[in-house]
């Protein structure tokens, strides 16, 4: 039976939250999505881009509206203490077992889109075509590309607009809407530094890659502080360092995992070139016998919201959701691969922020500055404590997707 009441979708949300899955492993999630869409009357195709799901609902002439939600979770151990908290364990790409959590809110994205699918299927007052895309592996930066390469638009047609939302710690009832560059571009790199291993008691016979890694990490911090202008935006983060196996063994190599965020293509090019220059220069200075290996793991562009589409969505939100507050959140240095869908289709994109913070945390605050200060103290996306307030976030997320879609569908 198709779910229709908000309580039924709340149950779906809790179930998805308790059963997270890593990118390209979203088999259970995709099954729930497909079953729900079929019960609502959508034509459903599974296995698009490995684990992606596409649902189509046609209602005569009009625009094709693509609504997108990402499905994957993160290798994070949940610490929220919720009665529906995840205790799941998954297998990472390197074969290790890792705890799993929907620490970025993709479970909210999926459930809100399912709720929107139900609302729009039950509404006879529109004409056009809905294309619902439930995407895998956003956190790996490869899910959108994989669906595109699997013939997403050749098989299901090209949309007229790509729409979606991302939950964040803003107060529930607040939407972040920004025209132009909205979410930063993302690059991930793996750098392998090669040394010469040996006994910890005889460092003079070695080239220590751990010391080399430390030098590289410190020097990388100077890229943003000394090579990027104050009027430009970039972030360089070394998120993981792996080297060695025992305190008295100097290893042969060290591996750094690096994340880069940027907005302007010229800045991105300059930052990536600086990373290569620094790792090679530090290796040379350390006397390494072999040049470092720099591998580009993934890359996806800045999400650029079309100004006209942004104005249309903002007007739809303000007209259809009582008491809604729409703000410009500024440039978000987090990244998203949803823009690749619009870029590949050659159509406008509009991707907004859905406030998911418990309103009780913002009681008595009246100014944007006060709200921003409170947001900065709350658990954010990717935190083991991140947990959107189901009510009123979920019904607002459903309504936002419905309102945005209706702005393109003939009524």
Q: Does pLDDT of 60 surpass 80?
A: yes
The confidence band for 289, taking pLDDT boundaries of 50, 70 and 90, is very high
How many secondary structure helices (H) and strands (E) does the chain include?
11, 18
62 to each of 14, 98, 121, 126, 313, how far by Cα in Å?
35, 46, 16, 9, 17
- CA 292 to CA 192: how far, in whole Å? 6
pLDDT value, residue 3: 80
Mean pLDDT across the stretch 151-174? 97
Tell me if residue 24 falls in helix, strand or coil. Answer: coil
Q: Which residues contact 344 (CB under 8 A, 6 or more apart)?
A: 148, 152, 153
Q: Which two tokens stand for residue 240?
A: 């993981």
pLDDT value, residue 368: 81
Q: What is the DSSP letter of 406?
A: H
Q: How far is CA 168 from the centre of its chain?
A: 11
323 Rama class: left (phi>0) / alpha (psi -120 to 50) / beta = left
Residue range 209-260, pLDDT digits in tens: 999 999 999 999 999 999 999 999 999 999 999 999 999 999 999 999 999 9
Q: What is the DSSP letter of 410?
A: B
The confidence band for 366, taking pLDDT boundaries of 50, 70 and 90, is confident
The residue to which tokens 């990402």 are assigned? 70
- CA 377 to CA 379: how far, in whole Å? 7
Q: Does pLDDT of 4 surpass 80?
A: no
What's the chain's average pLDDT? Answer: 96
Strand extents, DSSP E, 24-143? 43-48, 52-59, 64-70, 89-91, 97-99, 128-135
Q: In sequence order, which ranges of 140-207 are alpha helices (DSSP H)?
A: 143-149, 152-156
71 to each of 113, 166, 347, 360, 372, how far by Cα in Å?
11, 12, 23, 28, 28
Q: Which pTM value belongs to this model?
A: 0.94
Mean pLDDT across the stretch 339-344? 98
Residue range 14-56, pLDDT digits in tens: 999 999 999 999 999 999 999 999 999 999 999 999 999 999 9
173 Rama class: left (phi>0) / alpha (psi -120 to 50) / beta = left
Residue range 221-232, pLDDT digits in tens: 999 999 999 999
**Could you tell me whether strands 253-262 and 249-250 are parallel, antiparallel, or unpaired per DSSP bridges?**
unpaired
**Could you tell me whether strands 64-70 and 161-171 are parallel, antiparallel, or unpaired per DSSP bridges?**
parallel
Contact, 105 vs 356, CB < 8 A?
yes
Q: Does pLDDT of 365 surpass 90?
A: no
> What are the catalytic residues?
72, 138
Contact, 394 vs 6, CB < 8 A?
yes
Tell me if residue 366 falls in helix, strand or coil. Answer: coil
Q: Residue positions in the annotated binding site for Mn(2+)?
A: 104, 106, 139, 166
- Domains in the chain (CATH in brackets) are 6-179+306-406 (3.40.630.10), 186-299 (3.30.70.360)
The Cβ of residue 205 has, within 10 Å, a number of other Cβ atoms equal to 11
Q: How far is CA 297 from the centre of its chain?
A: 16
Q: What is the DSSP letter of 342?
A: H
DSSP-assigned beta bridge partners for residue 89: 99
254 to each of 34, 199, 210, 315, how far by Cα in Å?
43, 16, 6, 52
Tell me if residue 282 falls in helix, strand or coil. Answer: helix
Residue 103 burial by Cβ neighbours in a 10 Å radius (0-12, 13-18, 19+): buried
Q: At 248, phi and psi to the nearest 5?
A: -105, 20
pLDDT value, residue 93: 85
Contact, 103 vs 86, CB < 8 A?
no
């Amino acid at each position: 039976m198709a779910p229709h009441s908000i309580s039924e979708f709340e149950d779906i949300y809790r179930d998805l939250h308790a059963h997270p899955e890593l990118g390209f492993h979203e088999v259970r999630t995709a099954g729930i999505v497909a079953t729900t869409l079929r019960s609502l009357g959508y034509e459903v195709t599974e296995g698009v881009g490995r684990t992606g799901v596409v649902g189509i609902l046609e209602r005569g002439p009009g625009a094709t509206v693509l609504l997108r939600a990402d499905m994957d979770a993160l290798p994070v151990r949940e610490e929220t203490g919720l009665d529906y908290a995840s205790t799941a364990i998954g297998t990472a790409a390197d074969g290790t077992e890792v705890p799993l959590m929907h620490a970025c809110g993709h479970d909210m994205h999926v459930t809100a889109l399912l709720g929107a699918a139900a609302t729009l299927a039950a509404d006879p007052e529109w004409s056009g075509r809905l294309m619902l895309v439930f995407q895998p592996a956003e956190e790996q930066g490869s899910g959108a590309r994989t669906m595109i390469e699997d013939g997403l638009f050749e098989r299901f047609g090209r949309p007229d607009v790509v729409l979606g939302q991302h939950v964040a710690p803003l107060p529930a009832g607040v939407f972040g809407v920004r025209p132009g560059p909205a979410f930063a571009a993302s690059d991930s790199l793996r750098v392998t530094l090669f040394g010469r291993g040996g006994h910890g008691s005889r460092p003079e016979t070695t080239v220590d890659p751990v010391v080399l890694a430390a030098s590289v990490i410190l020097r990388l911090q100077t890229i943003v502080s000394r090579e990027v202008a104050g009027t430009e935006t970039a972030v360089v983060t070394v998120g993981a360092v792996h080297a060695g196996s025992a305190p008295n063994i100097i290893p042969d190599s060290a591996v750094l995992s690096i994340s880069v965020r940027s907005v302007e293509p010229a800045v991105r090019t300059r930052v990536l070139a600086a990373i290569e220059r620094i790792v090679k220069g530090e290796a040379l200075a350390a006397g390494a016998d072999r040049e470092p290996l720099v591998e580009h793991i993934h890359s996806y562009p800045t999400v650029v919201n079309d100004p006209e589409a942004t104005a249309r969505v903002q007007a739809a939100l303000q007209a259809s959701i009582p008491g809604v507050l729409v703000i410009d959140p500024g440039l978000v240095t987090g990244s998203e691969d949803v823009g690749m869908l619009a870029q590949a289709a050659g159509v406008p994109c509009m991707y907004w922020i859905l406030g998911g913070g418990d309103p009780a945390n913002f009681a008595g605050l009246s100014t944007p500055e006060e709200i921003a200060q409170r947001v900065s103290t709350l658990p954010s996306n990717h935190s083991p404590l991140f947990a959107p307030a189901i009510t009123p976030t979920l019904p607002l997320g459903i309504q936002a997707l419905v309102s945005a879609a209706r702005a393109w569908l003939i009524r």
